[in-house]
Structure 1
Amino acid sequence: MADSDFPVIRFSPRQQDNGKTPGGGDKANVSWLLTGDELLTRSKHLVSEIDELKANWDETNIEGLPHVLKVDLIEKALANTHQRYIVPMFIVGDNTGQIGFSGDTSLVIKIDSKEKLETVKNNLADTNKNAAQISALTAVQFYVPTIKPKTKESPYKLNPLNFGDDILNKRAVQIIADALNSKDINYNLVHYTTNLPVFKLDDVTSDSLKFIKTLPIKSAEPLEKLTNPFRSLDGLPLKYKDKITPFDESTDYPIIGLLDSGVDKNSLTEHWVTRGNGCQYSDSELNCAHGTYIATLLIHGDNFSDTHDSSIRGCEIIDVPVIPANGTDEITLINNIRTAIKENSSIRVWNLSISLDGEIKSDEFSDFAIALDEIQQTSNVIICKSAGNDPSFYMKQNASHLSIGAESIRSVTVGSLNRNSDPFDYTKKNFPAPYSCVGPAPSSLVKPDLTHFGGDLFASKHNPTDRTDFKEVSDTATSDGFKLIHKVGTSFSTPKVAKNIAELDLLTHNQYSPLALKALAIHSAKYYETPNLDTQQRLNTLGYGKPDNAGIALFGSSYSSTMILEGNLQKGNRIDIMEFPYPDALIKNGRYTGKIKVTLLYDPILIANQGAEYCQSNLEIRFGTYDKKMNATDYMRRFNPLKRDDSFNTLLKSKYGKRKIEINARYANERTLIAYGQKYHPVKKYAFDLAELRDSYLSSLDAERHWFLFLEGHYRLFAEKEALQKQKNLSTPFTLIITIEDPDQSAPVYNSTIQSLDNNNFVHNTVEINNRIHLSNRV
């Protein structure tokens, strides 16, 4: 049981915990190196492709712009260390080199003359000097833009190529504009983000698409549409007077910005809801049913449904409608969102429960997601984004992939799980809701991040086969202020997570960054389904689970401690805490014990036009024990004078026994032991019990050993190159949360942790809690 006497502990690394990162990267001894005839054959193939490019050079020329190539790599050569020696093969003087990444395995290269292309050819012919580079490459071709065919009446968008040079980019935009004008094609030039201009074309024919394909563009595709998200249903007579949460001016409430269809003013929303600045529509242009349902769910939902989904009854809402009754397109929507957040700068948590019609790609992040990421970074806010809904379950099919925008890295993407089971075992309690869209995001990133109850769909008979065989139950709110209705969807699980995060913000006096608030929510999340889904199913459908109420997430017990470390790790630096304050109270029978939960979130460098390599920074974490400190070697002493001997990383999944995990079923709802590393994944979470270690590793827990915590940043080659050009220093803001608990609920872990922090001279304090709030739901 959470107890306010044992709040989260904030601590900072000491001076001696800060070290330097030595340089690295070696192309020798790659496992995929070709030799002999295989190497010669690959070289001849690549050389012949260069000859073909030279033969077609003039007919593909666009005056004033370099040519653009697509260079395909084998999957094993994608590591940053390999790209460091592959990319220079294509750097031949000025105006050459990498400008982007396409899909999962292709470099996008610019080169401005046949003479320079000849130099590249010579590089690819030199099997003695460049064997590893040649082995890594499979094809070199002219870049061909992705053109999606016209399938419906919809505006198109053209994405210009980004040449990594402002002058060339302006030239490309002008060339596209001139070409469209010459064909009398009407367009508007708009911006998704600062560096992502888009041409919006209202009328496109099949013939014009052939012409468009010759322009300096990355892609051309129909604009995704957005329709008003609410389907009205018959409701129940509204009897709510004894269930309304009265507004109290002397009480602080969580505040959420609502990016939706608008909220009607009625007796349930007055005092609670304020129309924010920046709305682009008049009241007559709005259909507020969807937004009103969400607003009443946030304010009165626990009372109406007799649930405990939040810690605080009531919620203040800043309502900024971003979608009119007749729907809109993705470009208009993102500009409405940007304006709304900019014009209401005091709001830190926003809810976005509307989805574009399409689903995400597997190898590339959408413009919409990229724009949401930029907005959140620029405005320092959190957007909680619905995962999207799919009716395929009506046809006994699995839900489709996430809706476009739900792969936004900085957003908190929310799916739905079932609150209860139906009599026919179609809907199972605590399992993923059948309508909730699933991940992963591109680059196998875990999305959704979290789940919550979004309303249940109950089968009304065995083997349901039609929509009429289901009924919507569970969550209750109103879309008009007159009738209560049941609704299901990720639209209604998402605001519950948004409220949870807003409550965390309120309880802690706004002293945590949005990154830390997101980390607290993810850290508290658990799984509840029985029997268990396998790890990948869980992550794809439930993310990291359902978060605890804010009133629980911030507190522990005498048998546990939660520590939070925030920082901004500069490139070339590392944190290596060799006296991590693991509580001595958990030494039992000569060995360390404990259930441990580690959550690391970092704010990554994100660069558009990089395909699957959109995320350009990584933060590596190791946490475990070691035998003793030793002096570093002469070379390493320049960076760090000491090193650890016999380090053991407890975060490695391979160190735990499957049989022991199966026996320890009581920890199933917490456990998140996924493959270690998760490179370029901005959320990393591990939850495990030391009792599950394989017997062969138990000596690593001997009481004589010491605990360490290690953090180090890594950056992709493109981010490093761009930082060098712009003379910027790379760094990674992060939040790390570690909970250590006694499985037996007997040892004084909290006090022992405080004592260990003091004994090792760590600066630390506990979070201050806002006492102007009434925590009504602590369970």
Structure 2
Amino acid sequence: MDNQKYPAKLVSFRANDYQKGKVPGSFPGIAKWEYNHRNEIIRHLTNLKNQLLAIYESYIPSARIKLKYPDSSYPIVIYMKKLAKSHRPDGILKTLDSEVIAVHALGKLVVGITEDSLLKFIQLIVDLTGDIPITREAWITHKPDKSGTEREAIVPGRERDFEWIHELTSIEHVKTYSPSEVLEAMSSTDMQDCIKDGEFKIRFFQYDNDNDQIVRTQFNQTFKLNEKEIRPLSYSPELSSYVVPFINIETIHQMAAFPGVESITSFTRFHVTSSTLAESTTFLEIIQPESEKSYPRVAIVDSGIGKENNHITPWVEEREIFVPFNRQDNYHGEFVGGMLVYAHNANPTLKNIVDTGVKILDVVVLPAESQESIREDELIDALETALEKYAETYKVWNLSLGSSRLCSGVISDFTASIDKLQDTYQVNFVIAAGNFVELRQAWPVTSEDEMDRICLPADSIRAVTVGSIALNHDDTNLVKQGETAPYSRRGPGIGLAIKPDVVHYSGNPRNYPIQSINSNGAIVEDYGTSFSAPLVSAIMAEYYAQYPGQLSKTMAKALLIHGSKHPLTEKCIENATDHYYYGFGLPSRIHDVLYGNEHEITLVFEGRLNAQQNRNWVQISDFPFPESLKAGENKIRGEILVTLVYEPHLNPRLGSEYCRGNVDIRLRTLLEDGSYETISKGSSAGEINQVERWEKNQMTKELKWSPAKQLSFISPRGKKGSTDLRLDLFPTWRDITDKQAIPFAIVVTIRDPKKMATVYTDVSRSLLKAFQANDLKLRYTPTRITNKSR
């Protein structure tokens, strides 16, 4: 896409596109039981009863001594066989007056339960065991629904017991919440950090009753802490996290055994990591920005750019310095800055990059490697200070930094804060996926090693996380050009979300590093996700600089993902494994995304689902599809790519269920019989048949709960359907309390791969008849900057 005569169209939603009624959904049917025969059910319920008895007899007495209150709640863990909320023991927990207080790994529910409720739970199972039917079908009958269709129904009077059996058979097992789980994120290095800092973090479970205060009061008394010694973590108000003074390692283990403590962690530290493989004798000439030209802007949050760096300093508009000059080592920051301005000159084969210059905000936060590191609380303070001053001007913030703390089923205080900062200041953070220090030894990967998962803050849901692909290769390299670099950390992110979001080029560890410049203008070599991230930051910054009108962070991310393709096939990525290494692919510059030709057109939509405003769901019932893509009688052909990015409400308490809303999107076509059929293929692995529609399959194949997803229609020869298309947008929420407004952006490209149909003209005419649409003509034509080596 590169013809300015064929710009994308910004299409406004019409009043009748937003639907007021109930969000459509399939008839749920009667719940299935994991075991169908009486003997199997009784055996399972007996095991659950024995597990609960063991908790009551071995755990409760010691926990009661620590909390000292008879009505205290104690955390226990319920492992589920299925992930869907419909399988949870919500009915039983309501009867027991208990609550889910946290969700960690997928299917791992932490429940707060009192001693009396635990006994009631045991008795409930005992009572139910004596009244189990021979099979599930014994309690099933049939009756007509409103339309007269015969459907399954539960035998009257058996509804409660039927649902309880369903909930209990959906539980895998039950156990106490153990000290090892509290200390899961604490390595021996983290323990040493606690000693060095003289303090560490404790997160308590949050309850809906007054148990929070009971736990903290007894905790303070047990460990002889006053209110001045244990202070709330200022940047994590949504979580019950506190800073606690370090006494000794034994005391940390004792605290981990205190009922109501969710996690104990050290403060995450960030430091400069670089290889500095070689310095060339080749020098690049200085390029000066032109005063009359506009340039994209990127804030680099890094180790700084030295004022004596005559090559990059002309591009630095502002500086915000948090590290004294005598503690700085600017190598890493200058390498990153060099990638923004000189990457195309230092790497002549580099593709899909901004080669027109980038203005820089230099935020200096990382001290020299010899001068230790920066702690997460210090980094948050620095970020907030800089954002307060510069967020209106700089919308893209490059964070080529990482930690050693792996993404898990628990959202860290730091990641939650990173997401909140992006919402508060309406900016996009672009974050390096992190480097797997050990390097992979085989490719393609045949077995997954969880140690190569992304590290925080790359698990940020709101951020754009960037992985690395190899720029070049020879016979000595494990991976070839365009394949995932052997050090690039992979997804999935929290709750199986797609991470990284995109990838870009960086060096191959042997013989083919990527090149930038140092303070003298000499070409230097290195590799790492730190150096692919700024290439994406520049692309996204160009979106903001060139997009006509105000660009939201939601739309910026949608355009970035929409223009991304697999670096090897140059096609959309359609399987979960590739998503977890490549994200949605290698992104394109804005003119390649928004400019088309006569045989294709891109449409852009932006809106907000809001039940309080009766904007419950969206249906564009006369979606503009070109008549020229008819393929004979009752058939249509061509390609449609749809990208959806939305921003659901987030709740860091709930770990793997951090994203509290899901939005599904689909394209449907009118058939001869008057019905509408879905023609869009899912983001990862096609459509799921009804037998496979378990929650995990929907999460990996349809990207359920993932805040970015794509679907496509591809049929060069034609498929059953008509040009009468509908675009549907359906939200769902995990809980009624999560039913909050959801901003979203949709980008749609319709094309004829045969380059025969007059797609642009036909769709433009349809838009004139029924929609309000404006051309998205870019603000200016960028000019490539060049220099010479010497």
TM-score (norm 2): 0.82
Deviation at 1:101, TM superposition (A): 1.4
Contact 2:548–2:776 (8 Å) recurs in 1: no
Matched, 1:525 2:569: no
Q: Which amino acid aligns with 2:705?
A: Y
SS of equivalent residue, structure 1 residue 356:
coil
Q: Residues 421 and 654 (structure 1 numbering): CA distance in 2 closer, same or farther, change over 3 Å? A: closer
| Alignment match of 2:403 (pick from 356, 374, 379) | 356
Deviation at 1:647, TM superposition (A): 2.0
Q: Which amino acid aligns with 1:91?
A: K
SS of equivalent residue, structure 1 residue 496:
helix
Q: Which amino acid aligns with 2:261?
A: I
Deviation at 1:28, TM superposition (A): 1.9
- Name which of structure 1's ranges 206-215 and 313-322 shifts more when overlaid on structure 2: 206-215
Deviation at 1:162, TM superposition (A): 3.1
| Aligned-partner Cα distance in 1 for 2:411–2:706 | 14
Q: Residues 16 and 510 (structure 1 numbering): CA distance in 2 closer, same or farther, change over 3 Å? A: closer
What is the match of residue 711 of structure 1?
729
Q: Residues 373 and 141 (structure 1 numbering): CA distance in 2 closer, same or farther, change over 3 Å? A: same
Deviation at 1:34, TM superposition (A): 4.1
| Alignment match of 1:382 (pick from 428, 439, 450) | 428
Q: How does 1:43-192 map to 2 (within 5 A)?
A: 43-55=45-57, 56-61=59-64, 62-63=67-68, 66-76=72-82, 78-83=83-88, 86-92=89-95, 96-112=98-114, 114-127=115-128, 129=161, 130-145=164-179, 146=181, 147-148=183-184, 151-152=188-189, 153-155=192-194, 157-165=200-208, 168-169=211-212, 172-182=215-225, 189-192=232-235
* 1:211-245 Cα shifts (integer Å, max 9, x gaps): 1123321012344433322344441235322xx33
| Aligned-partner Cα distance in 1 for 2:676–2:521 | 68
Q: Which amino acid aligns with 2:420?
A: E
| Aligned-partner Cα distance in 2 for 1:22–1:299 | 48
Q: Residues 555 and 583 (structure 1 numbering): CA distance in 2 closer, same or farther, change over 3 Å? A: same
Q: How does 1:480-559 map to 2 (within 5 A)?
A: 480-509=519-548, 511-529=550-568, 535-559=575-599
Q: Residues 281 and 562 (structure 1 numbering): CA distance in 2 closer, same or farther, change over 3 Å? A: same
* 1:85-120 Cα shifts (integer Å, max 9, x gaps): x223122587x32222132112222234x3343443
* 1:496-546 Cα shifts (integer Å, max 9, x gaps): 101100001110145121011011011001123269998344212211110
| Alignment match of 1:373 (pick from 419, 428, 431) | 419
Contact 2:500–2:581 (8 Å) recurs in 1: yes
Contact 1:515–1:734 (8 Å) recurs in 2: yes
| Aligned-partner Cα distance in 2 for 1:79–1:68 | 25
What is the match of residue 758 of structure 2?
748
| Alignment match of 1:734 (pick from 744, 760, 770) | 744
Q: Residues 490 and 499 (structure 1 numbering): CA distance in 2 closer, same or farther, change over 3 Å? A: same
What is the match of residue 287 of structure 1?
329
What is the match of residue 579 of structure 1?
622
| Alignment match of 2:647 (pick from 577, 598, 603) | 603
Deviation at 1:394, TM superposition (A): 7.5
Give aligned-pair identity as a percent: 23
| Aligned-partner Cα distance in 1 for 2:497–2:313 | 41
* 1:597-653 Cα shifts (integer Å, max 9, x gaps): 111111022111212111111001111312379xxxxxxxxxxxxxx7242332258
What is the match of residue 217 of structure 1?
261
| Aligned-partner Cα distance in 2 for 1:422–1:201 | 52
Q: Which amino acid aligns with 2:105?
A: G
| Alignment match of 1:32 (pick from 19, 27, 34) | 34
SS of equivalent residue, structure 1 residue 104:
coil
What is the match of residue 497 of structure 2?
445
SS of equivalent residue, structure 1 residue 690:
strand
| Aligned-partner Cα distance in 1 for 2:118–2:22 | 37
Contact 1:625–1:647 (8 Å) recurs in 2: yes
Q: Residues 357 and 425 (structure 1 numbering): CA distance in 2 closer, same or farther, change over 3 Å? A: closer
What is the match of residue 680 of structure 2?
650
What is the match of residue 664 of structure 1?
none
SS of equivalent residue, structure 2 residue 378:
helix
What is the match of residue 771 of structure 2?
762
Unaligned runs of 5+ in 2: 132-160, 689-697
- Name which of structure 1's ranges 404-413 and 183-192 shifts more when overlaid on structure 2: 183-192
| Aligned-partner Cα distance in 1 for 2:304–2:388 | 18
| Aligned-partner Cα distance in 2 for 1:6–1:352 | 35
What is the match of residue 708 of structure 2?
683
Contact 2:482–2:567 (8 Å) recurs in 1: yes
| Aligned-partner Cα distance in 2 for 1:488–1:593 | 44
- Name which of structure 1's ranges 160-169 and 763-772 shifts more when overlaid on structure 2: 160-169
What is the match of residue 138 of structure 2?
none
| Alignment match of 1:431 (pick from 460, 466, 483) | 483
Deviation at 1:11, TM superposition (A): 1.2
| Aligned-partner Cα distance in 1 for 2:4–2:585 | 24
Deviation at 1:73, TM superposition (A): 4.0
Deviation at 1:188, TM superposition (A): 5.9
| Aligned-partner Cα distance in 1 for 2:250–2:526 | 45
Deviation at 1:755, TM superposition (A): 1.2
Q: Residues 22 and 320 (structure 1 numbering): CA distance in 2 closer, same or farther, change over 3 Å? A: closer
Q: Residues 501 and 603 (structure 1 numbering): CA distance in 2 closer, same or farther, change over 3 Å? A: same
Deviation at 1:185, TM superposition (A): 12
Q: Residues 58 and 339 (structure 1 numbering): CA distance in 2 closer, same or farther, change over 3 Å? A: farther
Q: How does 1:684-699 map to 2 (within 5 A)?
A: 684-691=709-716, 698=719
SS of equivalent residue, structure 2 residue 44:
helix
- Name which of structure 1's ranges 768-777 and 371-380 shifts more when overlaid on structure 2: 768-777
* 1:311-364 Cα shifts (integer Å, max 9, x gaps): 451111111112222213334333433333234222211000011123323x34
Deviation at 1:393, TM superposition (A): 3.3
| Aligned-partner Cα distance in 2 for 1:166–1:134 | 25
What is the match of residue 665 of structure 1?
none
- Name which of structure 1's ranges 646-655 and 386-395 shifts more when overlaid on structure 2: 646-655
Q: Residues 383 and 172 (structure 1 numbering): CA distance in 2 closer, same or farther, change over 3 Å? A: farther
What is the match of residue 563 of structure 1?
603
Query: What is the count of residue pairs matched by the alignment?
Result: 710
Q: Residues 282 and 539 (structure 1 numbering): CA distance in 2 closer, same or farther, change over 3 Å? A: same
What is the match of residue 281 of structure 2?
237
Contact 1:522–1:547 (8 Å) recurs in 2: yes
SS of equivalent residue, structure 1 residue 3:
coil
Q: Residues 71 and 649 (structure 1 numbering): CA distance in 2 closer, same or farther, change over 3 Å? A: farther
Deviation at 1:676, TM superposition (A): 4.8
Q: Which amino acid aligns with 2:470?
A: N
Q: Which amino acid aligns with 1:558?
A: E
Deviation at 1:434, TM superposition (A): 1.9
SS of equivalent residue, structure 1 residue 7:
coil
Contact 1:253–1:316 (8 Å) recurs in 2: yes
What is the match of residue 693 of structure 2?
none
What is the match of residue 467 of structure 1?
none
| Aligned-partner Cα distance in 2 for 1:768–1:409 | 30
Contact 1:186–1:203 (8 Å) recurs in 2: no
TM-score (norm 1): 0.84
SS of equivalent residue, structure 1 residue 256:
strand
Unaligned runs of 5+ in 1: 458-469, 630-643, 658-672, 724-728
Deviation at 1:253, TM superposition (A): 0.7
| Aligned-partner Cα distance in 1 for 2:314–2:240 | 41
Q: Residues 173 and 377 (structure 1 numbering): CA distance in 2 closer, same or farther, change over 3 Å? A: farther
What is the match of residue 516 of structure 2?
477
Deviation at 1:450, TM superposition (A): 0.6
